[in-house]
Structure 1
Amino acid sequence: MLGSPDSEPLLTQEFPEFLDVDALLADGWKPFAFQQFILKIHSRCDLSCRHCYVYEMADQSWREQPRRMSDAVADRTIERIAEHAGRHNLPEVDIILHGGEPLLAGPELISRLVRGIRGAVDTGTRVNVNIQTNGVRLDESFLRLFDSLEIRVGVSVDGDEESHDRHRRFADGRGSHALVSASLRRLTEGPYHRLFSGLLCTVDVRNDPLRTYEALLEFDPPAIDFLLPHGNWPAPPPFREAGSAATPYADWLIQIFDRWYESPVLQTEIRMFQEILRLLLGSPSRAETVGLSPVRMVVIETDGRIQQSDILKSAYPGAPQTPLHVLRDPLDRALLHPSIVARQIGELALSPACRSCEIVSTCGGGLYAHRYSQNSGFATPSVYCPDLYRLITYIAARCARDMARLRGAG
């Protein structure tokens, strides 16, 4: 485990800009085709959330984006996804409609993209579509549309009213919890429940963890995704002092893990915990937050630019950018961009401290964006390193005790 990026020799160039992709290819490495396509269909939002990485952090390129993806960019995006899926014989693709707030794009663009992609891909390719919304505009008309298009819906909510409205507010300071709760009731208590994919909750360690969890469970979510607030070494996340051995986020999450793990019935899936458990049992990860599985995701911005994960906007201006655009470039070209390659080569992209760590195969260095330091780019352990180490080793110890008990009982 590492306390600070300054405790190891500094690289002379920022990683991954100097990554030798040609040498990797010559050694027999091959890129993995993209399977998840995040479409930024609207670049503005109707909330002004304090913890938003798109609008409140280092990269402010949203100001230069058109508000809505044009029909021309949408149509070319459809062609590029179908082209990529066909070239790689993909059995299924995941389309994530995102923003800003994607509902601001309106039903016509959403229908155009979803119907267009499903109509353009080969008959053997299944198209799964999800939309991630803040829930403010999730009314009956959108739910009918999503039902007709088989679009699953994820909603961002941070717990009870006090916890949620701490950050997720309108520009005038009003909280959004009442509106979001009403939207969730429309989604979950009627005929549209089958569309509900789950809740996304950004962790704030000032909020009581069990009260937060219980407030989320009231909506009967099939899954909950707890997200660590985005930060890095030069700009640490709230209450996470860079280099400190304290573990405020692990301590918060462990309380929820114990409640979830000890429940006699599975009340919901919690992605972070389930991915850690999968990795501890020898299965590959299915999420970029932990593990060493190749990341197979690409972003298409509102203006048609092909980009890396937009979470990298939290690192520095321009961090997610590539020189590629859907109007002129196939998606295959992005597979050889050094920054995308770095997220597909597993342990080779990690710092020496991470590679020598006993839990590297489970932790995987943490989320890529959280590794950024001004000295060595993304070849640095996560700013959350102590939290990840504590959380993973705690879960591993609990599982080991239970396995030993079961073996003893047998």
Structure 2
Amino acid sequence: MDSAPSVSVAHELPFPFRQFIVKMHGRCNLACTYCYLYEGPDHTWRERPAAAPPGVLARTASRIGEHARAHGLTAVSLVLHGGEPLLAGADTLARFTDLVRGEVPASCTVHATVQTNSTLLTEERLTVLARHGIRVGISLDGGLSAHNTRRTDHAGRPSWPAASRGTRLIADRFPGTYAGILTVADPGTDPVELYESLLGLRPPALDLLLPHGNWSAPPPGWDSSGAPYGDWLCAVFDRWWDAGRRETRVRLFEECVALLLGLPAATESLGLAPFDAVVVETDGSIEQVDSLKSAYEGAARTGLDVFRHPFDAALRHPGVAARQAGIVALAPGCRACPLLSVCGGGNYAHRYRAGQGFTNPSVYCADLQRFIRHVAGRLAESAAPARPGSAAAAPSASCEGGTP
């Protein structure tokens, strides 16, 4: 097992957590064949209760309030997660959200979101969520049945009929509660067709993510001599950029543009802003984010829990410190790369290599370079439309990393 690197943190104090991901339910009603959480190397979910007990939720709410007061936070993000969180019941999600809002100072706003596969969305449940100010994010592989063939239930039945019904219900009847759609890039699909199919579901925002993989377990279709994921993202970016109007927000694209323009922005996949998310499991364990579970068994563990430890204790954990340390925690090649301020080394989990830990370039190094340079080129074209032949060249970078 590889531990987080020891780093010398440049800032005097850790940056507080502002995003609290709470596992409301630790099981899922789907059995997606590619799921890193249930089909990957980490099996710690089997050791934990299926649903978070009331005592865990009460203590978690208290700890969130404690952290908000200690750091003078004016806003926190509360992500109700799973598994499939709606298995816990919409009323349970609502009660917990109200509990958190009652624990934080009056000056602190709680932005609550539930991340669901959409199959359990009904008018009754959406009414409860909307009443309690909980927005709904939906996870799909695309906007067509053909895109979602790997998203089946435990009996092998397709989830798309229920998922599409739930998604259209929220778009039609509860647009103010609709947070958007999260989908994973898949070079095996037509990128423009997939993007346009998602537009048909009228999401106010899209999150396009790279599938979790690393140097020891490369993502599907990964090619050490090419950039298939970068090419896929570039095709979607061009469709989005050339639309002439904003059909929807695409966070990855907007953040990349902002970073290239020198504006403050960051996602887990781009930028150098300190990481500020923490997870509470159904048994009250305080953990690092789930993406680390794609690396090895126990990678997200901290040994802490909400009953015995404040969230400040997690800020001092070596893994969290490494993610907040910025440039000093990156591989030497990344620190010297001209794309560093935009790329930020990529998603932390994607840097893992067995025996070496996480101090490596991202397994998506070439893909990120391809995408960032393409976006930079499109920005340069827009800045000088009358001189198309003289657009400033995007920063160049050499791909470091090698093969698995």
Is residue 2:28 matched to residue 1:16? no
Q: Which amino acid aligns with 1:355?
A: R
1:342 to 316, 322, 326: 322
Q: Which amino acid aligns with 1:161?
A: L
Aligned residues: 389
Q: Distance in 2 between matches of 1:34 and 1:205?
A: 34
Instruction: Tell me what 1:104 maps to.
Output: 87
Q: Does the C-alpha gap of structure 1 residues 370 and 294 become closer, same or farther in structure 2, counting only changes over 3 Å?
A: same
Instruction: Tell me what 1:402 maps to.
Output: 382
- SS state of the match for residue 188, structure 2? coil
Is residue 2:228 matched to residue 1:213? no
- The aligned runs of 1:57-68 (5 Å cut-off) are 57-68=40-51
Give the RMSD, CA atoms, in angstroms.
1.6
Q: Distance in 1 between matches of 2:287 and 2:48?
A: 13
Name which of structure 1's ranges 274-283 and 173-182 shifts more when overlaid on structure 2.
173-182
Instruction: Tell me what 2:172 maps to.
Output: 189
Instruction: Tell me what 1:367 maps to.
Output: 347
- The aligned runs of 1:315-354 (5 Å cut-off) are 315-354=295-334
Is residue 2:260 matched to residue 1:280? yes
Q: Does the C-alpha gap of structure 1 residues 28 and 264 become closer, same or farther in structure 2, counting only changes over 3 Å?
A: closer
Q: CA deviation at 1:164?
A: 3.0
Identical aligned pairs, as a percentage?
45
- SS state of the match for residue 37, structure 2? coil
Q: CA deviation at 1:14?
A: 5.0
- SS state of the match for residue 130, structure 2? helix
Contact 1:197–1:223, Cα closer than 8 Å, also in 2:
yes
Instruction: Tell me what 1:234 maps to.
Output: 216
Q: Distance in 2 between matches of 1:77 and 1:303?
A: 10
Gaps of 5+ in 2: 389-404
Q: CA deviation at 1:407?
A: 8.4
Q: Which amino acid aligns with 2:217?
A: A
Query: Per-residue CA shift, 1:107-141, capped at 9, x if unaligned?
Result: 33212211101111111000110000000101111
Instruction: Tell me what 2:286 maps to.
Output: 306
Instruction: Tell me what 1:199 maps to.
Output: 181
Is residue 2:129 matched to residue 1:146? yes
Contact 1:60–1:317, Cα closer than 8 Å, also in 2:
yes
Q: Which amino acid aligns with 1:188?
A: A
Contact 2:25–2:282, Cα closer than 8 Å, also in 1:
yes
Q: Does the C-alpha gap of structure 1 residues 151 and 28 become closer, same or farther in structure 2, counting only changes over 3 Å?
A: closer
Q: Which amino acid aligns with 1:73?
A: V
Q: Distance in 1 between matches of 2:310 and 2:343?
A: 33
Q: Distance in 1 between matches of 2:371 and 2:347?
A: 15
Contact 1:163–1:207, Cα closer than 8 Å, also in 2:
no
- SS state of the match for residue 136, structure 2? strand
Contact 2:23–2:85, Cα closer than 8 Å, also in 1:
yes
Contact 2:140–2:148, Cα closer than 8 Å, also in 1:
no
Structure 1 moving runs of 4+ over 2 Å: 13-17, 160-166, 404-408
- SS state of the match for residue 96, structure 1? strand
Q: Distance in 2 between matches of 1:205 and 1:391?
A: 14
Contact 1:164–1:177, Cα closer than 8 Å, also in 2:
no
Instruction: Tell me what 2:369 maps to.
Output: 389
> TM-score normalised to the size of structure 1?
0.92
Q: Distance in 1 between matches of 2:11 and 2:144?
A: 53
Contact 1:71–1:109, Cα closer than 8 Å, also in 2:
no
Q: CA deviation at 1:357?
A: 1.0
Q: Which amino acid aligns with 1:391?
A: F
Query: Per-residue CA shift, 1:303-353, capped at 9, x if unaligned?
Result: 100000111110000000001000110011111111001111111110001
Q: Does the C-alpha gap of structure 1 residues 263 and 326 become closer, same or farther in structure 2, counting only changes over 3 Å?
A: same
Q: Which amino acid aligns with 1:338?
A: P
Contact 1:41–1:69, Cα closer than 8 Å, also in 2:
yes
Q: Which amino acid aligns with 1:344?
A: Q
Query: Per-residue CA shift, 1:49-80, capped at 9, x if unaligned?
Result: 12212101111111111000000000000100
Contact 1:51–1:229, Cα closer than 8 Å, also in 2:
no
Q: Does the C-alpha gap of structure 1 residues 328 and 266 become closer, same or farther in structure 2, counting only changes over 3 Å?
A: same
Name which of structure 1's ranges 151-160 and 95-104 shifts more when overlaid on structure 2.
151-160
> TM-score normalised to the size of structure 2?
0.93
Q: CA deviation at 1:161?
A: 3.0
Q: CA deviation at 1:207?
A: 1.3
Gaps of 5+ in 1: 1-12
Contact 1:159–1:211, Cα closer than 8 Å, also in 2:
no
